[in-house]
Structure 1
Amino acid sequence: MNNIQTEIDAWFLYQQLANQETDETISSVYRQMSAIEKGHAEAFAKKKNIPLATLLQPSWRAKTLNIIGKLFGYNYVLGALMDTEKSISNAMINQKQKNKQPLTGMETNHVSILRTILEKEKKVTGAQISKFESRHRSVGGNAIRAAVLGGNDGLISNFSLVMGIAGATASQEGVLLAGIAGLLAGSLSMALGEWISVKSSQELYENQMQIEMEELEADPEGEQKELALVYMAKGIPEAQSYQMAAEMMEDKSLAHELLVKEELGIDAEELKGSAMEAAIYSFILFAIGAVIPVLPFMFTSGMKGIILSVSLSAIGLFMIGAAITLFTGKNVWYSGFRQVLFGLAAAALTFGIGKLIGVSLA
């Protein structure tokens, strides 16, 4: 059932990608992928004697991803699809290797299939290949994943801190002060770390990109040959590769972008983000997660405050675990309760340590 639902979700999402895509060639790729996924779903359903008509509804995960696509752009949706395809591919390969079964090539993820379909389209251009490559590699900077993980870090770290202090002292003021201090310190640390990370990466990549542009200006013929070799490595015939490389060289900015991506592994779009903006988002997202276990101690104390803090944190952990399934495709209940279990275990450990320290000091 899970395999069938995964294929139905992919069928639905590729349809949405095709509907919103303005480039007809790339839209055709998504429509063909949608048809492939539908075929897979039908084959699974037939094998298990399940009427496909009863299973055609996309899951909540697929519907949520579609809403995210409408709000933030469908690159997020394509990125999530690629992540799912890769995880399925790796699972199939690992299972076959474990059982000492031969690999047939069918296990590989659909990124290569998408690229192959694109390359077989009539009158495909180098710009379209480059456009698609940037689509499937970029997930909009992965802002949604960063939001989920940022909130998770804030919640678990401050939850553990608050429980540790609550175990050591019955003072409401002490727990509240420690929780707020942990919130501010963690948020500021995350923000500064994000700013330094983004800024350093930008400076390093900008320098490498400048060197690549100088090479493009100094030796255009050599760089055009490199472009052709890039296309040939993707399986495009030699004559077509050289033709596409010549077309790309007519716009040096596009040629530069592709060379930077293929030679250096740099996505120029990801460098456009503001380091300060990334720092602010990190601060806010960490703080949102960190404030959850502190809230009850603003109004109550003692065991009542601890129970409320644990309850709110458990709900927050479950929601984060459920949100993570948008990218992993795993079962919501399993992922949610696993997150709750790990979070509560960490908090129980620090509470116990705090209790021991409190008794020792007393």
Structure 2
Amino acid sequence: MTDTPAALREAHHADVSGGWLRPAVFGAMDGLVTNIALIAGVGGGGVSPRSIVLTGTAGLVAGAISMGLGEYTSVRSANEQVAAEVAKERRELERHPEAEARELAEMWVARGLPADLARQVAAAVRRDPELALRMHVREELGVDPDDQPSPWAAATSSFLFFSVGALVPLLPYLLGATSLALALAVGGLGLFLAGAVVSRFTNRAWWSGGLRQLLVGGAAAVATYLIGMLIGVQGGLG
């Protein structure tokens, strides 16, 4: 152990820029909840284990593709919006450099920096056009133009982790079991473990994160099971 200040140590903070972690977590959770609820719904309707496997597999494939495409479109659209705003800010800096420098200084003063110091720093920043652009974008838009998430990384992460999550409640059937209760129990265990793992990144107690996710997924499963049972009885399947 050393006495190096935390601010100077590498990996002092977790990666919160959006990259792959957010779509991975969201994809895994969504895959678990979606397929647990889907299997509970058709199982409540009284269909055969083979039909449950077919339904769950279709849900896995369709959901993973949808999640991947959705993440790609979302992240790319957000990046394009940032790029458009950066271009707009670049034009403003080229046309009105003095006014933009005053605006930057005023923002710093509003945050508590002495007025004279804020103006001096803004004037120094103004001498470097690229530095000025990055500083204005960070201060005005709250984003780092040099650190935007990759749409491909987000899409791939979301696709893969949704598939893994959706596969969990299907495993008992794929291994030869025919019990809906067992499949839902395995899915519930997956929800709890996923919530516990996510808590590692949020400083939340592992049991609290796991229980919260279990309750969310359990509520969805109960709702779809009751709906499936109702429709199955009315349709003569029960």
**TM-score > 0.5, shorter chain as reference:** yes
Contact (CA 8 Å) 2:44, 2:226: kept in 1 or not?
yes
Counterpart of 1:283 in structure 2 is 159
Instruction: Please say which of residues 208-217 and 165-174 is displaced more in the overlay.
Output: 165-174
Deviation at 1:19, TM superposition (A): 4.8
1:18 and 1:250 map into 2 onto residues whose CA distance is 28
Q: 1:15 to 1:360 in 2, by over 3 A?
A: farther
Q: Provide Cα deviations, 1:199-224, integer angstroms capped at 9, x if missing partner.
A: 22222221121111011122222222
Q: Paired residue for 1:319?
A: 193
Aligned to 1:330, what secondary structure does the other structure show?
coil
1:140 match: secondary structure: coil
Number of aligned residue pairs: 235
**2:64 pairs with 1:191:** no
Deviates more, 1:335-344 or 1:285-294: 335-344
2:173 counterpart residue number: 297
Question: 2:54 — aligned with what?
Answer: 177
* Distance apart, 1:234 and its partner CA: 1.9
Answering whether residue 120 of structure 2 is matched by residue 243 of structure 1, we say yes
Bigger mean CA offset, 261-270 vs 151-160: 261-270
Q: Is the counterpart of residue 360 in structure 1 residue 234 in structure 2?
A: yes
User: Residue in 1 aligned with 2:145?
Assistant: 268
Residues 193, 214 of structure 1: alpha-carbon distance in 2 compared, 3 angstrom cutoff: same
CA distance in 2, matches of 1:258, 1:217: 15
Compare 215-224 and 176-185 and name the one that shifted more: 215-224
TM-score under structure 2 length normalisation: 0.87
Render the CA deviation track for 1:180-203: whole Å, top value 9, x for unaligned.
110111111111211221222222
Q: Give how far 1:327 is off.
A: 4.7
Which residue pairs with 2:216 in the alignment? Answer: 342
1:307 Cα deviation from its structure 2 partner: 3.1
With structure 1 as the length reference, what TM-score do the two structures score?
0.59
2:101 equivalent in structure 1: 224
Q: What is the SS of the residue equivalent to 1:236? A: coil
SS for the counterpart of 1:162 is helix
Q: Is the 8 A contact 2:195 2:213 kept in 1?
A: yes
Q: Give 3-state SS (helix, strand or coil) of 2:200's partner.
A: helix
Query: Cα RMSD between the aligned structures?
Result: 2.4
Measured after TM superposition, the shift of residue 317 of structure 1 is 1.0
Equivalent residue in structure 1 for 2:14, among 76, 98, 103: 76
Secondary structure of the corresponding residue to residue 169 of structure 2? coil
Determine whether 1:257 maps to 2:134. yes
In the TM superposition, what whole-angstrom CA distance separates every residue of 1:130-186 from its partner, at most 9, and x where no partner exists? Answer: xxxxxxxxx232643432222111100111001111222342221111001101111
Contact 2:23/2:155 (8 A) holds in 1: no
Deviations 1:221-246 (Å, cap 9, x if unpaired)? 22222222222122111221122112
Does the CA-based 8 Å contact 1:162-1:179 persist in structure 2? yes
1:215 to 92, 98, 122: 92
What CA distance in whole angstroms lies between the structure 1 residues aligned with 2:53 and 2:92?
Answer: 58
Larger RCO (CA within 8 A; separation ≥ 6): 2
CA distance in structure 1 between the aligned counterparts of 2:22 and 2:77, rounded to whole angstroms? 21
Partner of 1:17: 6
Q: Larger % of helix: which?
A: 1
Counterparts of 1:326 and 1:342, CA distance in 2 = 19
> CA shift at 1:324, angstroms?
3.4
Alignment-mate amino acid for residue 188 of structure 1: I
CA deviation profile, 1:260-282 (whole Å, cap 9, x unmatched): 122233331443x3323321211
Identity %: 39
- Return the alpha-carbon distance in structure 2 between the equivalents of residues 158 and 323 of structure 1: 20
Deviation of 1:355 after TM superposition, in Å, equals 2.4
1:187 corresponds to which letter in structure 2?
A: A
Partner SS for 2:204: coil
Which ranges in structure 2 are unaligned for 5 or more consecutive residues?
none
Q: Distance in 2 between matches of 1:321 and 1:200?
A: 29
Identify the residue that residue 41 of structure 1 maps to in structure 2.
Answer: none
- Give unmatched runs, 5+ long, in structure 1: 1-11, 22-68, 78-138
Distance verdict in 2 for CA 1:235–1:324, change over 3 Å: same
**Cα distance 1:177–1:361, how it changes in 2: closer, same or farther (>3 A)?**
same
